[in-house]
Amino acid sequence: MKLYAQRILLADGWHKNQTLTIDNGIISEIESGNVNADVDVGTVIPGMVNCHSHAFQRAFAGFSEQGSEGQDSFWTWRTIMYKFLRQLTVEHAQIIATQLYIEMLKMGYTRVAEFHYLHHALDGNNHDDLSAMAKAIFEAGDTSGIGLTLLPVLYRFSGFGPLPATEGQKRFINTTEQFNQLVTECVQLSQNYRNTNVGIAPHSLRAVDLPSLNSAVNHIRGIDECAPIHIHIAEQQKEVDDCLAHYGKRPVQWLLDNFTLDPHWCLIHATHINEAERQGLAQSGAIAGICPTTEANLGDGVFPTAEYLAEKGNFAIGSDSHISVDPIEELRWLEYAQRLTKQQRAVLADTNTLSVGKNLWQRAARGGALSTHSNTGELAIGKQADLLVLDEDKLKLFAHSEQHLLDSVVFASQSNLVADVMVNGQWVVQAGKHVHENQSAEQFSELLSQLSA
Ligand SMILES: [Zn+2]
C-alpha cells in the first residue's frame, strides 16, 4: 500500500509531500510527491513505544488516592494494590489488558513492553497451563493490534537477604527453573501472534538474588542474544538503603559491576542514582525507562534527566501503573519536573534539536524501540510502519509550523490529537475510533463495577 503525507517526521527530520510504500508492514520506499497513493493524509509522526506496563493496574487506577493523614507512600500503595489483585482471574486480566491496549493505541502508543508478574491462580498455585496468564496478555495484544513485547517477571523474594515472599506476593513467585520454563513457553506462544517478541524482567534486586538472575539471563540469552532484559531499580530510597546494607553497593552500581549492560537492558525508574551511576548507565547504552506520571503519583522522586540526556543517555517512557495512558502527559511531566526543580525553561532541548517537544518525542520513540528490540521508533526505509496521523482540525488551533508542531503537541494540546494509528502496516485506529472499543469498554466497565480495593 502507498501512503501520501503532506508532511512527515522521518528519521532525518521533517519532510513535505512524501509517499511511503509499505510492504508486509515495512516501509520499503519513500518518494517525493504523491506517487499513486492509496491514502492521502496530512501530518504523520512515528508511533510511541511504551516501555513499561503492568496491564492489570489499569483497573486499579483511582482506587488508591485516599489519604491517611500524611502517612501514605509507595509502600502503602503497594499493600492496597496487592489486596486488589487478589480478585483478578485470567479472564479479568484479558479484559483489562484489551481495554488498556486499545486506550494506548488511541493515544499514540504503537508498541508496549508488558512487565508481566501476575502469573498464578487466585490461590497462588500454578495454573494447569503455566503460561495461562501470559496467553491472556498475548490475546489482548492481538485483539487490540498493538505491538507487544512480553516480559515475564522473575519474582522470588520479598527483600534482600533473601527474605521469603509474603502472602500478597504468592501469585508472582516462581522457582528459577519454573520461570525459565515459563519463558520458553512464552517464546513458543509468541510464534502464534504477529508483531510480538519476548524478553525477561527480573522484578528488582530485592526480588532476585545473583544466582537466579544469572540463570534467567543465561536462559534467555541462549534463546535470543538480543532479547530485552528489564528490571525495576532504585525507585525508592529505601530500596537503595537496603541494597547498600546487603551488598555494600547502590543498586545501579551493583548491576553495572555484575553484568555487562548494553542497549538490550532497560532499567525501569533508576530514580535514585548518583553521578557515577548516572554516567555508567549513560555510557553502557542501556535504556533508562522513565515513567514520569507514575513516579509522580507514587512519590518516587525525579530522575536526573537533564544531566543524563546531556551525557547522551538512552531513555524511553512508560505508563507503568496507568494512572495516565498518554505519551504526551509523560513527556510533558518529564520536562516540567526539570523546570520545577531547576527553575529553568526548555531544559530538555539540545544543541541539535532546539524544540523540546521534537527532541523528546524522537528520543523517547528511539529509546523505546531499543528497549523492546523492535524495528520501530522512527520512520525510514526498512523500518516497521508504526505511525500516527494527527488531527488537522485540532492542530491548526496551535502553532503548527514544522518547527513548532511537536512543542504544541507536547505542551499546549488539551485533547487527544491522534486521529489515525497504523501498526505494522495495518490501520488500528481510524478517525479516533478502534473497531473493538465499544465492546471492550462495555466488558471492562462491567468488570470494574464488580472490583473493589
Ligand atoms: Zn513497574
Per-residue pLDDT, averaged over 146-154, amounts to: 98
53 CA → ligand 1 middle, Å: 7
Q: Which of 269, 322, 373, 434 is catalytic?
A: 269
200 CA → ligand 1 middle, Å: 13
Per-residue pLDDT, averaged over 168-179, amounts to: 97
The whole-number pLDDT of residue 58 equals 98
5 pLDDT higher than 90: yes
232 CA → ligand 1 middle, Å: 6
413 CA → ligand 1 middle, Å: 27
pLDDT bracket for residue 69 (50, 70, 90): confident
300 is catalytic: no
Q: Which of 300, 320, 326, 386 is catalytic?
A: 320
351 CA → ligand 1 middle, Å: 32
CB 342 within 8 A of CB 311: no
pLDDT tens figures, 79-110: 999 999 999 999 999 999 999 999 999 999 99
433 CA → ligand 1 middle, Å: 29
Which top CATH class is 48-372?
alpha beta
Per-residue pLDDT, averaged over 30-45, amounts to: 98
Which top CATH class is 2-46+383-439?
mainly beta
140 CA → ligand 1 middle, Å: 19
Per-residue pLDDT, averaged over 126-137, amounts to: 97
287 CA → ligand 1 middle, Å: 15
Q: How far apart (Å, rounded) are the C-alpha atoms in residues 59 and 85?
A: 9
Q: Locate all alpha helices (DSSP H) within 248-378, ordered by sequence.
A: 251-258, 275-284, 292-297, 305-310, 327-342, 356-372
The whole-number pLDDT of residue 201 equals 98
Rg (C-alpha) for the chain, rounded Å, is 21
CB 160 within 8 A of CB 207: no
410 CA → ligand 1 middle, Å: 24
226 pLDDT higher than 90: yes
320 CA → ligand 1 middle, Å: 5
CB 134 within 8 A of CB 182: yes
Could you tell me the three cell numbers for 366?
528511539
Per-residue pLDDT, averaged over 5-29, amounts to: 98
**Which positions ≥6 away from 450 have C-beta within 8 Å?**
none
Of the candidates 404, 440, 444, 452, which has an alpha carbon nearest to the alpha carbon of residue 43? 404
Work out the burial of residue 164: count CB atoms within 10 Å of its CB; fewer than 13 is exposed, 13-18 middle, 19 or more buried: exposed
pLDDT tens figures, 317-366: 999 999 999 999 999 999 999 999 999 999 999 989 999 999 999 999 99
**Which positions ≥6 away from 435 have C-beta within 8 Å?**
none
Average pLDDT taken over every residue of the chain: 97
Percent of the chain as helix, strand, coil, to the nearest 5: 40, 25, 35
List the chain domain ranges. 2-46+383-439, 48-372
What percent of the chain has a predicted confidence (pLDDT) above 70?
A: 100
Q: How far apart (Å, rounded) are the C-alpha atoms in residues 126 and 137?
A: 17
Q: Look up cell 508486509; give the residue.
A: 24
414 CA → ligand 1 middle, Å: 27
115 CA → ligand 1 middle, Å: 7
233 CA → ligand 1 middle, Å: 9
453 pLDDT higher than 90: no
* HSE-CB for 237 with a 13 A CA cutoff: 4
54 CA → ligand 1 middle, Å: 6
52 is catalytic: no
Of the candidates 6, 1, 47, which has an alpha carbon nearest to the alpha carbon of residue 20? 1
What residues have their beta carbon closer than 5 A to ion ligand 1? 320
pLDDT tens figures, 262-309: 999 999 999 999 999 999 999 999 999 999 999 999 999 999 999 999
